[in-house]
Amino acid sequence: MNSRFRQWLDGGLDEAEMIRIMDASELPDRPREEIRQEARQKKEEFLKQEEIQKEILASRERTRWFYIFVAVLSCVCLIGVLLGLVAHLPRFGVENPLTMEVVTRYVEEGLEETGAVNIVSGMILDYRAFDTLGESNVLFTALVCVLILLRADRKNMQAGREDYYKIRSDQYYDLSHDAIMRFAGMVLMPCIVLYGMYVILNGQNGPGGGFSGGAVMGAGLILSAAAFGFDTVDRIFTLRLSNIITFVSLSFYSLAKGYVFFMGANGYDNHIPKGTPGAILSGGMILPLDIAVGIVVACTMFGFYSLFRRGCIGGKTE
Amino acid sequence: MEAKEIVLVISLIILIVCAVSVNLTKNLLSAVIIYLSYSSVMCIVWVLIESPDLAITEAAVGAGVSGIMLLLTLKKVKEENERISDEIEDRRTTREILESKKAEDESLGGEA
């Protein structure tokens, strides 16, 4: 079992494929007896493997009810725990002096301290900006994992499947020459991207902010890639551009928040103007941080789509 | 009860129905579509409990982007299944070759 797993991990060929390759290439210049013996050996291994497969299937059938029982049991336990916790929460909208201390501070002083009309933005990008930095890192880690798993490089493609991503995935289901799709994309794409920009830029005044606006903009990019084909999007959105703007945004976020944390922890004023509450240029650092987060999220969403669809971001594979 | 509360209760019931039926669906495409409808109803629930920030995020990520990801994954899984069935076909022909080889071996051994 262990060696089989190792073989699968290393991307090795299985016996049937080995026999096929052997038959094709090594038949002419080797003695017949040797080939016959080797083939017999291979065949025994092949049959043994099939027996192992059958055993695995039978044992799976035997333990099926056990798994169902455990799944239902753990599900019921989880439901019980969650319902018990919900019963201990204060009622929605009712003031509770024990749990509302921090919330009262946020609601009463939030506008003055952060300069943001939208208290939620003030919380996630000012009071709790460290958490949001962690969230961005989680998203970045997810993108790295998807890159490792789905990138169409030499290690991820088995022998003889080099054109697999290109032919099957990219052209078979390609809708970019569909007239309806192109027209819908032409009408919808600018509206979606504009709405995403609006959500990002008004994060401190109304509902929205970097993450949601970035997701909307990423959806607009995905729509344009689906409607006009990857060739059109690759002209502006290359891997290099994506790397540069992701790096610049994340490092700007870290440096800006590092500066604010440092000044705040040491009791200095950070000299960032708050602006008029309600205007676009208000809320201190919230607007630039929203823009940075939005750009990263839009790039990440489109990168996910591109990796899932054809195994690379922006044009070239290797 | 106000109209808002009635809508909220109906949406919560729809959420539970969606959550259970995702598990009970055999067809993967239907499961994905039920999951997306779950996200859309959840978006309405976020608006009703007065968190429009989360409603925008849920609509963009839950119902939009993750739906695209799931559908692309489904397409990839289907392609992989086709590839595996091709491989099984290959294995079958390999076994036939082996059988015929065995017969050939026996006849050769008999001659020797």
Q: Is the dihedral of CA A266, A267, A271, A273 positive or negative?
A: positive
pLDDT of the residue at A28: 54
Average pLDDT for residues B99-111, to the nearest whole number? 73
> What is the nearest CA distance from A116 to chain B, expressed in angstroms?
14
- A120 neighbourhood in chain B, CB within 8 Å: 51, 53
pLDDT of the residue at A318: 40
pLDDT of the residue at A190: 93
Confidence category of residue A167, pLDDT binned at 50, 70, 90: very low
Q: Please give the model's pTM, rounded to 2 decimal places.
A: 0.71
- B95 neighbourhood in chain A, CB within 8 Å: 46
| pLDDT one-digit tens code per residue, A99-130 | 677 777 888 887 777 777 888 888 888 888 88
Mutate to test the interface with B, among A121, A157, A212 (most CBs of B within 10 A): A212
pLDDT of the residue at A93: 66
Contact A311/A151 with Cβ under 8 angstroms?
yes
| pLDDT one-digit tens code per residue, B59-86 | 988 888 888 889 888 877 777 777 777 7
Confidence category of residue A197, pLDDT binned at 50, 70, 90: very high
Nearest to A255 by CA among A140, A129, A138, A166: A129
**pLDDT over 60 at B99, yes or no:** yes
- A294 neighbourhood in chain B, CB within 8 Å: none
A278/A138 Cα distance (integer angstroms): 31
Place of tokens 């839009």: A298
ipTM greater than 0.85, yes or no?
no
pLDDT of the residue at B89: 74
A135 versus B80: the higher-pLDDT residue is A135
- A208 neighbourhood in chain B, CB within 8 Å: 53, 56
In this structure, what token pair is assigned to residue A136? Answer: 């961005």
Chain A, 108-167: which have a CB under 8 Å from a chain B CB? 118, 120-121
A2/A96 Cα distance (integer angstroms): 57
> What is the nearest CA distance from B53 to chain A, expressed in angstroms?
5
Contact A314/A224 with Cβ under 8 angstroms?
no
Q: B65–A218: do the CB atoms touch at under 8 Å?
A: yes
Q: SS3 for A145?
A: helix
The one-letter code for the residue type at A290 is D
Min mean pLDDT across A61-65, A156-160, A220-224, A230-234 is at A156-160
Mutate to test the interface with B, among A82, A308, A310 (most CBs of B within 10 A): A308
Domains of chain B, by residue range, sit at: 3-111
**Residue A211 burial (10 A CB sphere; 0-12, 13-18, 19+):** buried
**pLDDT over 70 at A174, yes or no:** no
B16/A225 Cα distance (integer angstroms): 35
What's the whole-number average pLDDT of chain A?
A: 78
pLDDT of the residue at A234: 84
In this structure, what token pair is assigned to residue B28? Answer: 């993967």
Q: SS3 for A232?
A: helix
Residues found in chain B: 112
Contact A169/A81 with Cβ under 8 angstroms?
no
B112/B99 Cα distance (integer angstroms): 20
Would you give the distance in Å from CA A155 to the centre of its chain? 21
What values do phi and psi take at A161, rounded to 5? Answer: -120, 25
- A118 neighbourhood in chain B, CB within 8 Å: 53
Does residue B97 sit at the A interface (CB-CB below 8 Å)? yes
> What is the nearest CA distance from B4 to chain A, expressed in angstroms?
15
Mutate to test the interface with B, among A21, A43, A149 (most CBs of B within 10 A): A43
Nearest to A217 by CA among A117, A279, A301: A301
Would residue A93 be called left, alpha or beta, if left means φ above 0 and alpha means ψ between -120 and 50 degrees? left
**pLDDT over 80 at A159, yes or no:** no
- The CA–CA distances, whole Å, from A88 to A32, A79, A92, A99 equal 79, 15, 12, 12
Q: Which residues of A72-108 are buried (b: 16+ CB within 10 A; e: fewer)?
A: eeeeeeeeeeeeeeeeeeeeeeeeeeeeeeeeeebee
CB within 8 Å of A13: residues ≥ 6 apart: A21, A159
Chain A, 203-232: which have a CB under 8 Å from a chain B CB? 206-209, 211-212, 215-216, 218-219, 222
User: Could you give the count of Cα atoms lying within 13 Å of A281 in the half-sphere of its Cβ?
Assistant: 3
